[in-house]
Structure 1
């Protein structure tokens, strides 16, 4: 390669890196539509978070390690389930986005099930979750899970106490069965304070880009804060088993919560670099007899920007 070729490659790589950072910055623009009053109150309540440059640098490093973990899972045919639970607006979705952002969606997939249908309500409770469990070489992230029964279903009265008690008797053995079958089960609880949840709900109310995240059930959770607290404590006491322990992530600082969770997740697996074939771009083959056809202009997306 000539010096000019090296310079072109360097410029291209820099452009790719900047594009990657822009993508992450786009995710971070969470208060772009907030009223100045809400923004001022929120910043006073939080104080300084981790410096932006340090956050991005650490996040990119951790995401590069996640790629190694992904390759190891595929190579060794591991089966991984990661459960994300926590109060509404605790930051579960944010960390899941950062985990999956640079990974292969054919290997790492997110499961966020809606409320059960009338038919599903008549099934064995765990039945609708089983089809989403991983095969060898897959990682499944549950954005809420079977622990709905210990939380929202219990607090909001969608499950009676007999059903909740049956769940608590069943879930430890269910998870032990998963572990015995070769599935690694990791459980995270994202913890935020009463005041922090109130601020995040206010942000969602005032931000048109986030209002879809608020459901009537979310608003009811503000009224039943203590009920959720009691349900959470009972859940930890009865489902924190050695085969699948709970890990609590302090979530008031979103950036630190994401970094801490990803860093901890990586420590749970003995992943190593796996052998891979060297990739070489084949030479372009030109067919002198081929004549490219001109496509009609109506097939093209209008260039508005």
Structure 2
């Protein structure tokens, strides 16, 4: 009962905290007159991935690397199959060609690099730093290209910033940021503690808890952003949110977890779940390239694949 309340409270704090963190960060950046491209690419991308970051780092500090790794792998899989599937059912999601060529390629490279690094278990700090270096390189290159070319990829990042609905008052923006940060940190601790307790009580491997309950919970900001973008007919923003979040997760969050301490990689994730994540990434790129969009039929297929994955995980538990 107590563990369930901790999980519920943690998920609520992560959802509201992540949203507050994004709005506060964008509001502060707007007052500082930072570039909309920078705001959309860096602050919105980081803000929507903050719950995953806080949760995975907290799991590492608590001695539960299975939850830390499962959270990242499960979140990336859920972002594509579950969240993008829901968004496509609401309204077909367009893929901006310029952004797809660059960001889709970056996602593919980062995903393959992360999987390669994960086989060096325990993942040492030097490899964690290398993953973070990949993320910083992607951010820097994207920002330079956006400013130099002024193409639709840059416009997409600006639209992501505009979609954050940031407060205009600087005091209110700081309050949103501070409250969101506290919410994310406290929510992550509650979620990890409750999830570990339930896993122990039910005899369910922590990796599966991380891949399902924790991963879906920390992906709530991406779900909210995708649904809002789909309802506003901004499918390209929804697509960009998912790709950007997955790049941040695979490079930044795994890297940060490895910097805390050497990251032990669960055998079942190496043998099964990372390949599901890779397959989901390949399906996303295929759908987007073949039709420059993810339509309702493809969205339904994504959801069906995710339902099958969850059923398979439940049976293996």
Q: Which is richer in strand?
A: 1
Q: Identify the TM-score tier after normalising by the shorter chain.
A: under 0.3
Q: Which is richer in helix?
A: 2
What's the TM-score once normalised by structure 2's chain length?
Answer: 0.24
What's the TM-score once normalised by structure 1's chain length?
Answer: 0.25
